[in-house]
Structure 1
Amino acid sequence: MFKYVGKDLPASIVVFLVALPLCLGIALASGAPLFSGLISGIVGGIVAGILSGSHTSVSGPAAGLTVIVYNGIETLGSYEIFLLAVIMAGVLQFILGVVRAGVIGYYFPTSVIKGMLAAIGLILILKQIPHAFGYDVDPEGDMEFIQVDQENTFSEIINAINFIHPGALIVSMICLLVLILLKSTRLSNLKLLSYIPAELWVVLLGIGLNSLFKLQFPDLEIEKSHLVDLPIADNLMDFAAQFTLPDFSALGNTNLYAIAVTVAMVASLETLLSLEAADKLDPKKRISPANRELRAQGVSNVVSGLIGGLPVTAVIVRSTANISAGGQTKLSAILHGVLLLVCIYLIPDFLNLIPLSCLAAILLMVGYKLIEPKIITNMYKKGKDQFIPFAVTIIAIMFSNLLVGIGIGIAVGLLFVIRSNFRKAFTFSEADGDYEMRFNKDVTFINKALILSQLEKVKENSHLVIDASQSTFIDSDIREALDNFKDSAADRNITVEFKGMQNSI
């Protein structure tokens, strides 16, 4: 784990910078205490990082759970009771890992996973445009199309255009330009620049620019409402007081158990999807153990619930930032959790100087990496069987949420699988009055209608060979249809010859 410290440490700083506003934004969107988002970020980094078998995946609070958390707190009546549901969800996740339920993650088509990544990239870009303009009404962590303020992704951009903050826009544009330059091949090879991550240079630049505005251009100064807003503790006792304990007296609340199951199922699914996606982005193409990940997430949620944190899952935005920044092992995820813990206690005043528009520039780059044009063109070249589920997944996630969009993408992907099997299951040919129907693979009731329509083309006084020697399975519906055809064929003087039917179960 310590073999690539030189790469993992800079990557952890990048993930920390990306995670900081997301933890706060997700907590705000969930209707939970702001500090709860930071707790789950710390637990996701340290606890999940240590227990996970993934080299590149990063865990923390998930945007996909905001609605569930918000409704859960409202239904149960207090955040302290909701923490009990988080603990129970963690226990359920651990059990799922023990019974090896992680295999579910392998049943998601590659085209859908890539569509999910591209959709998240596009959503990140669209969601960060208002923050880049200095319009910070909607929380950073809100990834739904319909936002918590009842606006939607596109109306929020229109609103942002009407409320542009000149100073914030200047900071975001300069930071984005500098980020692009620092990421360029020529500049990234300079030793002086390579020691510090480009994202950290950009954060320091954002703070410096706003300090300059304050001194020289007061009209451009970015006010406190457009800066990172961490809770500040004057001493260790105040810091400890920000942790919330669960209310164990509510164990008799029947709603508690339904919410716990919901959190466990959704968090597990989001974890498995993110894990699969991170493995696809990993340059070394390492495969992460899914069952171990479920167990790691289960323990993390128990710990998070015990100390006042939101539910934890593997999250793709931070995982992408980690991989893009050169993270090699899970040490980068662990260190990002340590940085969150140390920095929010020791230097919250300094972190509160960071403009949100500066962080928006970083997230815009993360989003672009997920949906750059070559990704779309590569999927297009693979044919419509891959491209259409990919495109549908992007559109569905954009206009709903992650899990609904994934479900729609899988449904479309299955239609193409069925269509492919439907057309390639058999071939039908005719030569000199003789006919041949050759089964090329497994044949099921799905193929029955097309098989019967082809058999109707067989003319009187002819010979038909039905060759099943290449097929390993023919279901009973097809066998019955073929037998019925053979019985009726005699009336039209058609002889039917079967080959290899005994080889097909």
Structure 2
Amino acid sequence: MVHKHFRYYVSHLRHDIPAGVVVFLVALPLCLGIALASGAPLFSGIITGIVGGLVVSWASGSQLSVSGPAAGLTVIVLEAIDRLGGFPAFLPAVVLAGAFQLTLGFLRAGVIGAYFPAAVIKGMLAAIGLILIIKQIPHALGYDADFEGDESFFQPDSHDTLSELGYALMAISPGAALVSLVALAILLAWETAPIKGNALLSLIPGPLVAVLWGVGFNVYSAAYLPELAIAPEHLVQLPDSRGFDDLLGQLTRPDFTHWADGELWSTAATLAVVASLETLLSLEAIDKLDPLKRVAPTNRELKAQGLGNIVAGLLGGLPMTAVIVRGSANVNAGGRTKMACFIHGLLLLLSVMFIARYLNLIPLACLAAILLLTGYKLAKPQLFKEMYRKGTSQAVPFTVTVGAILFTDLLAGMALGLLCGLYYVIKTNFHSAITLTRDGNHYLLRLHKDVSFLNKALLRDYLARIEADGYLIIDGSRAQFIDQDILETIQDFVAAASDDNITVELRNLNGDSGIVTGPLARPQPAGH
């Protein structure tokens, strides 16, 4: 069995190695930016990315999901660090959150993710794509007012994202703009048939070429074109360490002296719930993107995330979730198995140990170009056209989810989208549970599957349409469950039907059959 799995992963290495490099390039600034936004040491974000790649990838049952620090947890982490008295005091909450997630996994709570309609999941993907586009344009233009990986429409300075776009357009850095435009051209060229059909070029990831272009331009412009040189604040800023011992020295150790503090436990519970929900939603989304249509086991994913958060907390890392941006970058780069996620974690580890000084030459503008293209693939115009062609029951929850995520946050947006989806489910079931067919003065009222008290108003409306001197058959043979409220409503109608000379015949209505009222008001066989 082990040999079989080994051969499976080796057979896909030609896809997974380039994909792992791409995910590494995308994850590097995201890990740093999310740590910065969380008020935590920069190194803590890298630690979580490494654990997500090296540990969670193998514990997880997903082949394409990528775990790491999540933008959706930044506000919770920032406030918790302040309330608990510092980052070391916060780390035990990450460990406890991981233990809670392990428990949720064993309690089989992963089933929650299956209750989100496909339209809502697609809306989430489209919203994330739009956020990536509108949030990365300032980075592509050299206006880095917000951290890389920010996923909030409204900013801490009370401006919204559209305002930030306006400021970015008025403060364009020519060098950064040139880097991002050429990087985008390279990425698009790598999607064309001539490049894909070339045996040599097809082996080189397009994003790697875009990054090499950015580094080359940065070095050249600093020496010969100072007016186009990219400022240091627009470059990757990775903490420099020299070897494994130096790396260990930068780790923050958790402070367990306040383990009995109720605030610590409530923070851990909050982290566990929010991180688990984001993970399950991300997992559903990545399964939708998987070209091989594999379905990851959700309970195993919760256990893997729990293990990851325990390890990350002990090593001084931020809390983690499965992250859509990195997972979708993995899919778009051609990743096939969990080796791509593992390779990204390995590259993060090696980069901080040996080549941090060289990675700090990478302009954020070329990384923004990679995320811009990823965002476009998530929010393609064809997706919006497809959802609108499917009708209001799909288009409305999709649109509500996109808008709500853009203007609130991921979880609030998904909750609104779910409520909208549930409305259409209830509406559909409401109308399909009971049908009324008329032929002259003969009526057939049929009860389908489950008929609950929610259908009482519809039933009364249908019964009110039965005209005097009519013959009504009420057929419950297709119903698996009939609520007592429904039976009482029918009984009340039967009791009053003789006033309008209406004959009512019951068929398989909770054991009742026969003609029960009207001018022939005497029990008769159901087939009369």
- TM-score w.r.t. structure 2 length? 0.93
Q: CA RMSD in A?
A: 1.3
User: Do 2:218 and 2:230's aligned partners in 1 also have CA atoms closer than 8 Å?
Assistant: yes
Give 1:86 deviation, angstroms.
0.3
Match of 2:467 in 1: 459
Question: What's the offset of the Cα at 1:74?
Answer: 1.4
Question: Cα offset for 1:2?
Answer: 2.5
* C-alpha deviation, 1:237, in angstroms: 4.0
Describe the superposition over 1:267-300 as per-residue Cα deviations: whole angstroms up to 9, x where unpaired. Answer: 1111111111111111100111111111111010
Find the aligned partners of 2:428 and 2:63 in 1 and give their Cα distance: 36
- The equivalent residue for 1:40 is 48
Identical residues among aligned pairs (%): 53
Match of 2:14 in 1: 6
Give deviations 1:415-463, integer Å, cap 9, x for gaps. Answer: 0111111122222133222222122332111111121022112222222
Counterpart of 1:109 (choices 92, 117, 127) is: 117
- Secondary structure at the aligned position of 1:353 is classed as coil
2:394 to 358, 375, 386: 386
2:339 to 331, 341, 365: 331
The alignment status of 1:86 with 2:94, answered yes or no, reads yes
- The answer (yes or no) to whether the contact 1:129–1:157 under 8 Å persists in 2 is yes
The match for 1:100 is 108
3-state secondary structure, aligned to 1:473: strand
Size of the alignment, in residue pairs? 504
Contact 2:242 2:353 in 1 (8 A): no
Name the aligned partner's letter for residue 166 of structure 1.
Answer: P
Shift of 1:142: 1.3
Range 308-317 or range 461-470, more displaced: 461-470
Q: Aligned with 1:122: secondary structure? A: helix
CA distance in 2, matches of 1:360, 1:414: 37
Tell me, yes or no, if the aligned pair for 2:243 and 2:354 is still in contact at 8 Å: no
Query: How far off its partner does 1:101 sit?
Result: 1.1
Q: Alignment partner of 2:479: what SS? A: coil
Say if 2:448 and 2:480, in contact at 8 Å, map to a contact too. no
Q: Which of 166, 169, 175 matches 2:177?
A: 169
| Structure 1 position 257 matched with structure 2 position 290 | no
User: Which of 435, 439, 450 is matched with 1:442 structurally?
Assistant: 450
Q: Is the 8 A contact 2:31 2:45 kept in 1?
A: yes
Per-residue deviation, 1:236? 4.4
Secondary structure of 1:467's counterpart equals strand
SS at match of 1:468: strand
What is the Cα deviation at residue 264 of structure 1? 0.4
The 5-angstrom pairing of residues 117-196 of structure 1 reads: 117-196=125-204
Task: Choose 389-398 or 230-239, whichever is displaced more.
Answer: 230-239
| Partner of residue 306, structure 2 | 298
AA matched with 2:254: P
1:241 deviates by 2.0
CA-to-aligned-CA distance 1:331-385 (integer Å, 9 cap, x gap)? 1101100100001110011100000111000000111110112222222222211
Aligned position for 1:424: 432
* 1:27 to 1:150, Cα distance in 2 relative to 1, 3 A: farther
Gap runs ≥5 in structure 2: 1-8, 513-528
Q: 1:52 aligns with which of 52, 60, 64?
A: 60
Give the Cα separation in 2 of the matches to 1:291 and 1:323: 22
Q: Which runs of 4+ in 1 moved over 3 A?
A: 234-238
Instruction: Decide whether the 8 Å contact of 1:145 with 1:399 is kept in 2.
Output: yes
Counterpart for residue 320 of structure 1: 328
Q: Which amino acid aligns with 1:312?
A: M
Runs of 5+ consecutive residues of structure 1 not aligned to the other structure: none
Alpha carbons 1:90, 1:298 under 8 Å: kept: yes
Give the AA of the match of 2:70.
A
1:403 is matched with 411
Give TM-score, length-normalised by structure 1. 0.98
* Residue pair 1:206, 1:354 contacting (<8 A) in 2 also: yes
- Residues 9 and 332 of structure 1 are in contact (CA less than 8 Å); yes or no, is this contact kept in structure 2? yes
Q: CA deviation at 1:149?
A: 3.6
Does the CA contact (< 8 Å) of 2:211 and 2:366 recur in 1? Answer: yes
| CA-to-aligned-CA distance 1:194-236 (integer Å, 9 cap, x gap) | 2221100000001111222223321110010110001112454
Give me the whole-angstrom Cα distance separating, in 2, the residues matched to 1:281 and 1:236: 37
- Per mean C-alpha deviation after superposition, the further-off stretch among 72-81 and 404-413 is 72-81
Conservation of the 8 A alpha-carbon contact between 1:464 and 1:496? yes
